[in-house]
């Protein structure tokens, strides 16, 4: 209870002192919000169906008709970008939720209990991390039929060990804190210590890590599509679009560049949001900047 | 420390055994087996059964695994199905070429990334910090192969400055050989550099604001000593962990980058094997990449212990 009270007070003080929110948070949140709306309304906003071919307008440069130009089949790149945003965001969010659900509890427990628990958990995570990230996904996708859910699950499981490790290393640093000593002296239960004492303090760094993980999932998903093991054509996946445009990079660079820019904006938006949240949430960030 | 290192080495071996089992089982879950792949469309049930018998594919799985693992340990990686040559020489040649890329990129990332992170943290909120963050955001915001594409567009197609695909020939001189490495290495570096500098900045900023740094400053220690000897030493702990993680990312990056630059390394070999379902090649490539990754993790763990003496390995100290 005590820890929560001081946290709440600290947050209020921070909020009061720094009335204008961090710029990163505002810009990041705006970008993410716009993206979410665009993805939700993609079908309504898109000027053309994503797979409609305009044979006469193949490889035409960006214009008022085709905002981001057309590809080698005369499909509107802008419409495809909009539909593609759904795939990317879905992949990022599902994968990250899976990885946090596995990684956070394990990391907290390992860092707090130390000893045998720590050893067992960390060895298990080591074994998971021993596979170079892309190998496991490639192996799974090469053996089975690729699908978005399977890709998200594989990436999520892969991201759990890094989340667990970060959680553990932050927990280890927190262990020598006075509030932990106090909790121990009060004889608090394990569950209470993990959730009420450690988690709130680990959370800020975890937010940064979570934003990195969403980004990781979006990017790895793009790599997989690029290599031909992810989302399959004719889906309007950003990675797939970049890959398809490679052959036309001289004549029609917009086919590859446009989805790259869209991905870049997405990833920057999520990263800024993570950074901004950190500045607001982390009590230790008080008075910085 | 020595005992700890030995114990960890034992774990690495255990991990490799587990991995080899996984790879073996996963490739056996594939729809077709080696015999069917060799015979292709001309197979009949009789020839298939005969070849399966000859290759030992009709033996129980554990026995097959034992034969395969035993051969692997003796350096015999089998025959490539597609190229119809022994896997080992092909694989080690590709390995050397990938290692050149990886080592160059990792060296640049570690030195430049940590430096950039420290500079950004020390001059927090000033133009140096902003420059590093803009760079970091740009670098981290697209998959590495996209930078590869952009670099190809700019330096290859438009400026004709650098070769954009393939591998140089050492007989044409070192400069020519190196020119083929520039774009792949720069591409590999960009993303990881962003990651490392960003993390170093945030952990460094935390340390610089901590009590002990304030104490060190108030004792009148020169700023350089405070930054390097006090703050950086502690800030490096999470950075080292991330560098090891990044090595895995680097291996992933190598796969995509070798593909886009048509660089004949291990990554491209693996993609080739996966696409063509060349099982022996696939198994060997994955195992070798996994072994490299394990050793990198081991190295990072040992460094972690050196950098942070507060963490005593094995025994819990509170």
Residue A212, in any domain of the structure: yes
Characterize B290-304 residue by residue with b for buried, 16 or more Cβ atoms within 10 angstroms of its Cβ, and e for exposed. Answer: bbbbbebbbebbbbb
Using a CB-CB cut-off of 8 Å, the residues of chain B touching A263 are 141-143, 146
A8-12, B33-37, B54-58, B255-259 — most confident range: B255-259
Give residue B179's pLDDT band: very low, low, confident or very high (50, 70, 90): confident
CA dihedral of A153, A159, A160, A162, whole degrees rounded to 10: 170
pLDDT at B218: 83
Cross-chain residue pair A134–B252, CB shorter than 8 Å: yes
Residue A5 lies in a domain: no
Provide, as residue numbers in chain A, all residues whose Cβ is less than 8 Å from the Cβ of B277: 142
pLDDT score recorded for residue A284 = 54
Query: Residue A142: which domain range?
Result: 22-48+67-281
Gap between the Cα atoms of B15 and B23, Å rounded: 12
Residue B79 backbone phi and psi in degrees, to 5: -100, 140
CA–CA min distance B270, chain A (Å): 9
- Our CA-based measurement puts residue A262 at a distance from the nearest CA of chain B, in whole angstroms, of 9
Q: Would you state the pLDDT for residue B315? A: 40
* Vertex A267: Cα angle to A266 and A270 (nearest 5): 85
Task: Give B146's contacts in chain A (Cβ within 8 Å).
Answer: 222, 242, 256, 260, 263
Q: Is A20 helix (H, G, I), strand (E, B) or coil?
A: coil
pLDDT at B300 over 80: no
In terms of average pLDDT, the best of A25-34, A176-185, B139-148, B189-198 is A25-34
Partner residue facing B252 (CB), from A127, A132, A268: A132
Q: How far apart are CA A163 and CA A111, in angstroms?
A: 13
Q: Min CA distance, A55 vs chain B (Å)?
A: 26
Q: Which residues of A touch B124 (CB under 8 A)?
A: 288-289
In a domain, A14, yes or no: no
d(CA A128, CA A160): 9
Q: Does B32 touch chain A (CB under 8 A)?
A: no
Q: Which residues of A touch B318 (CB under 8 A)?
A: 114, 175
**Residue B188 at interface with chain A, using a CB cutoff of 8 Å:** no
- Low-confidence residues of chain A: pLDDT under 70: 1-20, 130-133, 281-289
- Complex ipTM > 0.85: no
Number of structural domains found in chain A: 1
**Which of helix, strand or coil describes residue B146?**
helix
Residue A1 in domain: no
Average pLDDT along chain B: 80
* Cα dihedral sign, A185-A188-A192-A193: positive
Give the CATH number for residue A160.
Answer: 1.10.3720.10
What is the distance in angstroms between the CA of the first residue and the CA of the last residue of chain B? 19
User: Is residue A11 a part of any domain in this protein?
Assistant: no
pLDDT tens readout for residues B204-223: 888 888 888 888 888 878 87
Q: Confirm whether A4 is domain-assigned.
A: no
Put simply, whether the predicted model's pTM sits higher than 0.80 gets the answer no
* Tokens standing for residue A120: 């067992």
The answer to whether residue A241 is domain-embedded is: yes
Check CB contact under 8 Å for B149 and A289.
no
Dist. CA A152–CA A147, nearest whole Å: 9
Asked whether the beta carbons of residue A169 and residue B275 sit closer than 8 angstroms, the reply is: no
Show residues of chain B in contact with A246, CB under 8 Å.
149, 260
Dist CA B55 CA B71 (whole Å):
13
Residue A164: inside a domain = yes
Among chain A residues, the shortest Cα distance to B301 is held by A126
Q: What pLDDT does A95 receive?
A: 92
Quote the CA–CA distance of A199 and A105 in Å, as a whole number.
9
The nearest alpha carbon in chain A to B129 belongs to: A289
> Which chain A residue has its CA at the smallest distance from B24's CA?
A139
Which residues 122-141 in chain B show a CB within 8 A of chain A? 124-125, 137-138, 140-141
Query: CB distance from B79 to chain A under 8 Å?
Result: no
In 3D, which of B1, B3, B11 has the Cα closest to residue B298? B11
């Amino acid at each position: 209870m005590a820890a929560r009270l001081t946290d709440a007070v600290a947050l209020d003080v921070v909020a009061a002192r720094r009335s204008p929110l961090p710029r990163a948070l505002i810009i990041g949140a705006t970008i993410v919000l716009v993206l979410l709306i665009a993805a939700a309304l993609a079908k309504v906003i898109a000027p053309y169906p994503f797979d409609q071919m305009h044979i006469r307008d193949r490889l035409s440069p960006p214009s008022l008709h085709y905002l981001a130009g057309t590809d080698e089949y005369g499909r509107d790149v802008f419409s495809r970008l909009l539909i593609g945003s759904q795939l990317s965001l879905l992949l990022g969010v599902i994968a990250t939720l899976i990885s946090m659900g596995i990684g956070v509890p394990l990391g907290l427990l390992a860092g707090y209990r130390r000893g045998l628990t720590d050893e067992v958990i960390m060895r298990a995570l080591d074994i998971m991390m021993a596979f170079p990230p892309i190998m496991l996904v490639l192996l799974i996708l090469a053996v089975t039929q690729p699908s978005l859910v399977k890709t998200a699950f594989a990436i999520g499981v892969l991201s759990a060990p890094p989340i667990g490790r970060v959680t553990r290393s932050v927990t280890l640093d927190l262990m020598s804190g006075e509030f932990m000593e106090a909790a121990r002296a009060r004889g608090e239960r394990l569950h209470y210590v993990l959730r009420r004492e450690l988690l709130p303090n680990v959370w800020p760094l975890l937010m940064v890590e979570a934003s990195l993980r969403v980004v990781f999932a979006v990017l790895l998903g793009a790599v997989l599509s690029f290599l031909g093991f992810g989302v399959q054509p004719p889906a309007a996946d950003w990675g797939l679009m970049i890959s398809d445009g490679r052959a036309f990079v001289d004549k029609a660079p917009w086919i590859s560049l446009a989805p790259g820019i869209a991905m870049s904006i997405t990833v920057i938006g999520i990263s800024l949001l993570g950074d901004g949240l950190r500045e607001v949430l982390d009590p230790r960030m008080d008075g910085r900047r | 420390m020595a005992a700890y290192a030995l114990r960890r080495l034992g774990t690495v071996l255990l991990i490799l055994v587990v991995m080899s089992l996984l790879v073996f089982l996963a490739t056996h879950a594939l729809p077709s087996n080696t015999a069917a792949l060799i015979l292709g469309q001309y197979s009949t049930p009789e020839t298939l059964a005969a070849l399966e018998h000859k290759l030992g594919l009709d033996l129980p799985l554990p026995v097959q695994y034992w034969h395969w693992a035993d051969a692997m340990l003796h350096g015999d990686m089998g025959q490539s199905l597609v190229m119809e040559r022994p896997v080992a020489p092909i694989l080690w040649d590709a390995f050397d070429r990938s290692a050149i890329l990886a080592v160059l990129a990792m060296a640049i990332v570690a030195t430049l990334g940590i430096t950039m992170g420290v500079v950004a943290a020390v001059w927090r909120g000033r133009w140096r910090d902003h420059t590093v963050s803009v760079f970091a955001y740009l670098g981290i915001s697209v998959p590495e192969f996209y930078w590869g594409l952009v670099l190809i567009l700019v330096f290859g197609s438009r400026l004709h400055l650098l070769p954009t695909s393939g591998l140089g020939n050492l007989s044409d001189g070192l400069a020519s050989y190196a020119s083929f490495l520039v774009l792949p290495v720069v591409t590999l570096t960009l993303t990881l550099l962003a990651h490392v500098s960003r993390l170093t900045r945030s952990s460094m900023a935390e340390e610089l604001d901590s009590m002990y740094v304030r104490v060190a400053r108030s004792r009148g220690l020169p700023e350089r000593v405070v930054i390097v000897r006090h703050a950086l030493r502690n800030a490096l702990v999470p950075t080292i962990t991330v560098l090891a993680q990044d090595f895995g990312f680097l291996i992933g990056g190598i796969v995509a980058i070798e593909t886009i630059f048509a660089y004949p390394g291990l990554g491209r070999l693996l993609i080739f094997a996966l696409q063509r379902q060349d099982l022996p090649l696939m198994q060997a490539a994955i195992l070798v990449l996994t072994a490299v990754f394990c050793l990198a993790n081991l190295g990072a763990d040992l460094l972690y212990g050196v950098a942070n003496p507060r963490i005593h390995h094995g025994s819990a100290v509170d």
